[in-house]
Amino acid sequence: MSEYTLPNDHTLMILDDDAPLRIRLGRALEQRGFDVRTCETVFEAKREVRDNPPAFAVLDMRLEDGNGLDVIEQLHEARPDSKMVMLTGYGNLATAVSAVKRGAVDYLAKPADADDVCKALLAERGETPEPPENPMSADRVRWEHIQRVYELCGKNVSETARRLNMHRRTLQRILAKRAPR
């Protein structure tokens, strides 16, 4: 039995190309009472939105075949009352603002806890959910930012170091380490 009070239509679409995360989050949200459908690609998600728009959606920002922001727009057009949360391992303020402007109710960094996702999805419009129980540490946020810039620079260490205004060897040491918790 779920501790959450769900509306009559509790259909939920999860769009994420990370299969273990998608499956684990899908199971956790099913246990909380949602009727979960999962998609791996933007193409699959857009087809799902066209054929049967869900009441709720959890969307990854960056995918192999596009961007979760495109799905927000289509879902918002197909079902204006839907509530969407963006998930991403590449957190930054500009994309958070863009996601909210396009219709998302919240923006959570991966790995997001299922309870935090539920709180965000079920919060009343205009009400902000409570902060996450286990937010990313400042070290993890820094590491995520460095990884994002590194990816955007085509994994070019010298260019990444220049853009981050850091010594190349310092960057190499950071990249060689595991992600902090």
What single string gives the DSSP state of each residue in 117-163? HHHHHHSPTTPPPPPPSSPPPHHHHHHHHHHHHHHHTTT-HHHHHHH
Residue 80 sits at φ, ψ, to 5 deg, of -60, -25
Superfamily of domain 11-122: Response regulator (3.40.50.2300)
**Cα distances (angstroms) measured from residue 110 to each of 2, 7, 129, 144:** 23, 26, 17, 10
* 138-176 placed in CATH 3.30.70: no
Residue whose C-alpha is closest to residue 4's, from 116, 160, 146: 116
Of 146 and 3, the structure prediction assigns the larger pLDDT to 146
Contact 45, 71 (CB under 8 A): yes
Give the tens place of pLDDT for each residue, 103-139: 788 878 777 788 888 888 888 766 665 666 666 677 8
The mean pLDDT value of the chain amounts to 83
* Contact (CB, 8 A) for 87 and 78: no
Two structure tokens written together for 3? 């501790």
| Separation between Cα atoms, residue 141 and residue 54, nearest integer Å | 31
DSSP tag of 165: T
Domain 11-122 and domain 138-176, same fold? Reply is no
Model confidence pLDDT, tens digit, residues 15-35:
998 888 889 999 999 999 999
Rounded CA gap, 149 and 143, in Å? 10
Name the residue ranges covered by the structural domains of the chain. 11-122, 138-176
Q: What is the pLDDT of residue 93?
A: 56
What is the model's pTM?
Answer: 0.70
